[in-house]
Amino acid sequence: MSRMIHRHLDIREGDWSVAVVESVWERGTDRDIVELLKILWGDPFGAAAQAVEKALPHSKVYGYPRLFRIALERWRARKNN
């Protein structure tokens, strides 16, 4: 992911935490969302996916958590088959 700057975070490539995922969901552009989805598609078990999993239960953002949960489930099943 390219460098994203939000109010409280300076997000750099490969920097994945719950705060980064929440920032993408809450303040990211459509391009940021698509970039995160591409990263998850490529590695649904990696650091970004783990951060997404941790962010899912308590996110208040409408729509994205459900989309990301379903995407991870399907992409992980694809990798396991």
Q: Is the dihedral of CA 26, 18, 10, 42 positive or negative?
A: negative
Rounded to the nearest 5°, which phi and psi values hold at 3?
Answer: -70, 125
pLDDT greater than 90 at residue 46? yes
Q: Report which of 32, 30, 29, 61 is spatially closest to residue 48, judged by C-alpha positions.
A: 32
Mean pLDDT of the chain: 87
CA-CA distance, 62 to 11, in Å (whole number)?
Answer: 22
- Mean pLDDT, rounded, for 2-21: 70
Q: What are the residue ranges spanned by the domains of the chain?
A: 4-80
pLDDT greater than 90 at residue 44? yes
pTM tops 0.85, yes or no: no
Give the pLDDT band of residue 2 (cuts 50, 70, 90): low
What pLDDT was estimated at residue 3? 56
